[in-house]
Structures are given as structure tokens and as C-alpha cells.
Amino acid sequence: MRKHLLPLMLLVLAAASACKQEPREADKAPRTVEEITRAIIQEVRQVIRETDEQLAGRQPISRELPAADGQASGGSLQLWTENGQAVRLTAITGKGSETRYYFANGELFFASQADGLFIFIGPELKYWLDAHWAPLQPSEADRKARETALQEEAKGYLMLF
């Protein structure tokens, strides 16, 4: 599946922009940080769309989350796998909020929540986006806190399977 190639594609994209190319090819390659950012976001968006399309007809593995104090329901988890590795994990809490986690080769590379979209490159949260896929500029402390929270949540949920 194409999502397994994302880390490789991102590396190739970055390397290609740094390499000297033929004039007509250089005109097409991203040159600025903004162009590279747009290219990465566009590629991730396409991978997410294709992943969701491929998973639409497949049954996930489901788990119920225990209810917290005062809640009737704890929520639920749905996990889609391929060859024994997580591809997408959807967590719906008892409060009704939903987070989707996407994985490539067992590594978190994208998460979506009501308040943002998050692109990881390796273990780092590199791009924090709004609901329209436009980059936001959170403080370094906020970025690091969200990075840690998303990774820990995903890891904790995966351990329930």
C-alpha cells in the first residue's frame, strides 16, 4: 500500500529539492520551505484519502474502553491492520470526541482531532494544521506537548489490542 512508502517519499522529496537538476525539472521541484511544506501536506493528504478508501470495505478490530467516573460509556477503539501492523486506529471517547491515528511501518505519521491535524516525520510532530490543512504556528512548548500526548495516546490504545 502507498502509505508504507510515505517516509521514503518524504525523504526523496527533501533530497530532490536539494539536488541540482535539469532546468525544466528544477522548475517543477519545490524550492522554498513553503513549497516543500505544501508538497508534504499534499502528499500526506492524498495518502490519508487513499488509506481511508482502501479501509472502507474492511472490518476493524473493535474494543470498548472502560467508562470513567460519572460516564455511562468509556468510548471505543477501532483498529485496522495490514500484515500484523497498525494502519489506522480510531478512538472515540465517552465524551464523543474522535481521534484518528495513521501508521506507516508501525510508526505514527498522522493524527486528526477536532482541533487540528498533525503530521509526524519520524518521531517528531513537524506540521500542526487546522481543519482546512493550513499550517499553524504553535509555540515550541505546545508542539512538544501535543507530540508527546499523541504518541502516548496512540501507544496506550494499541496496547489494548
pLDDT at position 68 is: 74
Q: Using a pLDDT cut of 70, give the percent of the chain over it.
A: 81
pLDDT tens, residue by residue, 116-131: 999 999 999 999 999 9
Distance of CA 117 to the CA centre of its chain: 8
* 110 strand-pairing partners: 102, 119
pLDDT value at residue 15: 41
Please state the domain extents for the chain: 2-55, 61-158
- Give me the pLDDT at residue 67, please: 79
Q: Which residues of the chain form beta strands (DSSP E)?
A: 61-64, 75-82, 85-93, 98-104, 107-113, 116-121, 124-129
What number is the average pLDDT over the span 98-109?
Answer: 97
Contact predicate 125/86, CB 8 Å: no
Residue 31 banded pLDDT, cuts 50, 70, 90: confident
Phi-psi region of 116 (alpha: psi -120 to 50; beta: other; left: phi over 0): left
Contact 132, 117 (CB under 8 A): no
Average pLDDT, the chain: 86
Strand-strand pairing, 124-129 and 107-113: unpaired
Q: How far is CA 39 from CA 26, 68, 97, in A?
A: 15, 41, 29
